[in-house]
């Protein structure tokens, strides 16, 4: 086992033990030995538990992991993070890519987008709600949920009577 692999395993173990600081350091050391998707992804995941780390650094680490490995799980993780920090267009892009790469789980990714957007967007865009923003958020969420259910507007109207 190489030093890099050992550090990756250590980082993953520490992350599983919720030692975010220790995991973050292990993944950073692993990246110095050898850059790989697993290390960038692990570093991003560890950083989620460290409030002092800037969200842009986390996004960059996820994106570097994705550049190296088009893993749908990496896209989903980045999309979830983007929902949390209000980067909704980026979240849409990455949920869409995850759905494209993993068509078997496409409905799940789209439903996550719908629900995440529905409940997070009003919090992040509070000042726009009075100007019809809430209706826009609801429509977009509903669009994703209908797509996740593989039904169109007409079918939805029919089902709802």
pTM of the model: 0.88
Residues 10-37 have pLDDT tens digits of: 999 999 999 999 999 999 999 999 999 9
Does residue 4 belong to any structural domain of this protein?
yes
Does residue 143 belong to any structural domain of this protein?
no
- Residue range 107-130: average pLDDT? 82
Comparing CA positions, the residue from 157, 150, 118 lying closest to residue 134 is 118
Given pLDDT bands bounded at 50, 70 and 90, which one contains residue 135?
A: confident
Work out how many domains the chain is built from and give that number.
1
Does residue 24 belong to any structural domain of this protein?
yes
Domain hosting 38: range is: 1-51
Does residue 156 belong to any structural domain of this protein?
no
Tell me what pLDDT residue 81 has: 97
Q: Name the H helices within the chain.
A: 3-16, 20-33, 37-47, 55-68, 72-85, 88-101, 106-124, 133-149, 153-160
pLDDT at 66 exceeding the cut of 90 = yes
Given pLDDT bands bounded at 50, 70 and 90, which one contains residue 68?
A: very high
């Amino acid at each position: 086992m190489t030093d890099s692999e050992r550090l990756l395993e250590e980082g993953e173990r520490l992350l599983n033990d919720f030692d975010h600081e220790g995991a973050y350091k292990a993944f950073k050391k692993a990246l110095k030995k050898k850059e790989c998707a697993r290390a960038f992804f692990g570093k991003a995941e560890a950083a989620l538990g460290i409030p002092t780390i800037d969200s842009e650094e986390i996004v960059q680490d996820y994106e570097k992991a994705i550049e190296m490995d088009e893993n749908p799980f990496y896209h989903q993780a980045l999309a979830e993070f983007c929902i949390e920090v209000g980067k909704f267009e980026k979240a849409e892009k990455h949920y869409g890519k995850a759905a494209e790469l993993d068509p078997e789980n496409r409905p799940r990714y789209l439903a996550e987008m719908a629900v995440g957007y529905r409940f997070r967007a009003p919090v992040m865009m509070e000042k726009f709600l009075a100007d019809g923003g809430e209706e826009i958020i609801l429509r977009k969420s509903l669009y994703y949920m209908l797509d996740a259910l593989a039904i169109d507007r007409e079918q939805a109207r029919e089902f709802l009577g």
